[in-house]
């Protein structure tokens, strides 16, 4: 019996686990129930378990043979602070909290893989099962790294998987190179001199200066980056003033920057600072900017991506593995792992979804049909990377 067939036999039970996690979503670093569910499940399989890595993270250790090679497989466990609009039986029991990104499914697929790995041990080396907290904006991956993940569990490479709505179930996308973008934030304060709106010459208008800055910021991508280097700079907040007849003394702008390389990130940050200086001088206002780096770009290493593509192709057929899918401008904190170890983060098709439902939509639900193929991918990846000595 193939790996996927053996997992399919347990499908109803695995879907039950997934729906139980879905019904009990927990926010970043508060995944206590989920972490305990994971740890208990692994322990019942005889797997060595380490709790509390990066606060609520869990690591399981599965050994096969005597090999010294080791790899890591990662699933994320956290939910989002949003209200679920689904009405099915496994809808969220927690108001204002929802598994709208499918991390319930990711956790379940890795647990399902753990069952097979612990039972069959058809590999030579060590697999670290990394169940991370706080993927959604709170950098749980970084918390695990700062807690000594790679020193305590030395792995040569690490792998991630995310469901992808809109891509048919049973398909994979594997990027060699960037898969997801970086996500940085900027906050800008434009400080002028308030005045009577009928006497603008007596003040320094921060609104006009800020408006000029919004326009100038749009030239960063169009005029200073290589057209082949994709980036997004979006000013998403602009606040100033509170009366018809008052020129306010300050305006504030904030926004997000997305890119696929650290070089582009640095270039955008430098240009933002230069435009703030230049426009401040031109309009005789003071402009202060703070630029906050968030998640780095998620960049797969070529060798590991090639192995993942091969494993997926063996599982679902080469025609169902997209090697040229466009990367996403969304961000993913698996990037922190890839900054320190080679590895690959793949997308697994979640199917069309109800009404073309996307991630982070209040009607989203993880597609239980893909649990066997996702779990089998993990098992086959381990058996390929840590293949038995011939």
Residue 4 or residue 169: which is nearer to Zn ion going by CB? 169
Query: In whole angstroms, what is the distance from residue 206 CA to residue 216 CA?
Result: 15
Q: Which is nearer to Zn ion, 160 or 178 (CB)?
A: 160
**In terms of CB distance, is 123 or 164 closer to Zn ion?**
164
Report in angstroms how near the CB of residue 163 gets to Zn ion at its nearest.
8
Q: Which residues in 3-42 contact Zn ion (CB under 5 A)?
A: none
Q: Is the separation of the CB atoms in 15 and 109 below 8 Å?
A: no
179 binds Zn ion (CB under 5 A): no
- Give the pairing type, strands 343-349 and 321-322: unpaired
DSSP codes joined into one string, 367-390: -GGGHHHHHHHHHHHHHHHTPPP-
Number of residues in contact with Zn ion under rule CB under 5 A: 1
The site string for Zn ion over 281-310 (x = CB under 5 A, - otherwise) reads ------------------------------
**Distance set, CA 2 to CA 63, 162, 315, 322 (Å):** 21, 23, 10, 23
Rounded to whole angstroms, the Cα distance separating 367 from 359 reads 12
| Neighbouring C-beta atoms of residue 95, cutoff 10 Å | 8
User: Least distance from C-beta 174 to Zn ion, angstroms?
Assistant: 17
Q: Which is nearer to Zn ion, 102 or 372 (CB)?
A: 102
Enumerate residues 197-216 that contact Zn ion by CB under 5 A. Answer: none
Closest CB 100 distance from Zn ion, rounded Å: 7
Query: Nearer Cβ to Zn ion, position 175 or 267?
Result: 175
State which residue, 126 or 298, has the beta carbon closest to Zn ion: 298
> Are residues 258 and 231 in contact, defined by beta-carbon separation less than 8 angstroms?
yes
Cα distances from 220 to residues 197, 214, 253, 283, in angstroms, run 32, 11, 16, 20
Nearest to 73 by CA among 388, 389, 377, 390: 377
Closest contact distance (angstroms) between CB of 308 and Zn ion is 18
Q: Are strands 177-180 and 172-173 parallel, antiparallel or unpaired?
A: unpaired
60-119 positions binding Zn ion, by CB under 5 A: 101
CA distance 42 to 65: 19
Q: How far is the CB of 330 from Zn ion (least distance, A)?
A: 8
CB of 240 to Zn ion, least distance (A): 32
Please say which residue, 39 or 101, places its beta carbon nearer to Zn ion.
101
Q: What is the DSSP string of 186-220?
A: EEEEEE-B-EETT-GGGSB-HHHHHHHHHHHHHHI
- Name the residue nearer to Zn ion (CB basis): 101 or 217: 101
Smallest distance from Zn ion to CB 78, Å: 9
Q: How far is the CB of 129 from Zn ion (least distance, A)?
A: 18
Nearest residue to Zn ion by CB is: 101
Residues that bind Zn ion (CB under 5 A): 101
């Amino acid at each position: 019996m193939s790996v996927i067939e053996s997992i399919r036999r347990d499908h109803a039970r695995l879907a039950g686990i997934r729906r139980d996690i879905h019904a009990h979503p927990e926010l970043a670093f508060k995944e206590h129930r989920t972490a305990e569910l994971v740890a208990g499940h692994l322990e019942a399989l005889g797997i060595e378990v380490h709790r509390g890595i990066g606060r609520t993270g869990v690591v399981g250790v599965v050994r096969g043979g005597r090999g010294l090679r080791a790899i890591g497989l990662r699933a994320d466990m956290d939910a989002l602070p949003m209200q679920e609009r689904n009405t099915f039986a496994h809808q969220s029991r927690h108001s204002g909290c929802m598994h709208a990104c499918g991390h319930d499914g990711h956790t379940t697929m890795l647990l399902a893989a753990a069952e097979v790995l612990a039972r069959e041990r058809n590999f030579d080396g060590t697999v670290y099962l990394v169940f991370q907290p706080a993927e959604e904006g709170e950098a749980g991956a970084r918390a695990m790294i700062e807690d000594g993940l790679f020193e305590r569990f030395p792995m040569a490479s690490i792998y991630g998987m995310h469901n992808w709505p809109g891509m048919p179930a049973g398909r994979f996308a594997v990027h060699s190179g960037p898969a997801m973008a970086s996500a940085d934030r900027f906050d800008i304060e434009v400080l002028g001199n308030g005045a009577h709106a009928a006497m603008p010459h007596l003040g320094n208008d921060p609104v006009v200066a800020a408006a000029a800055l919004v326009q100038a910021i749009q030239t960063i991508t169009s005029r200073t980056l290589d057209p082949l280097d994709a980036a997004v700079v979006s000013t998403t907040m602009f606040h100033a003033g509170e009366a018809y007849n008052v020129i306010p003394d300050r305006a504030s702008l904030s926004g997000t920057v997305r890119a696929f390389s650290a070089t582009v990130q640095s270039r955008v940050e430098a240009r933002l600072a230069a435009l703030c200086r230049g426009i401040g001088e031109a309009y005789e206002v003071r402009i202060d900017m703070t630029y906050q780096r968030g998640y780095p770009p998620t960049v797969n290493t070529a060798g590991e991506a090639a192995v993942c593509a091969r494993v997926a192709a063996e599982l679902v057929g080469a025609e169902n593995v997209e090697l040229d899918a466009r990367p996403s401008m969304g961000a993913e904190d698996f990037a922190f792992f890839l900054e320190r170890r080679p590895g690959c983060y793949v997308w697994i098709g979640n199917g069309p979804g109800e009404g073309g439902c996307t991630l982070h939509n209040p009607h989203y639900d993880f597609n239980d049909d893909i649990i066997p193929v996702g779990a089998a991918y993990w098992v086959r990846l381990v058996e390929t990377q840590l293949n038995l000595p011939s």
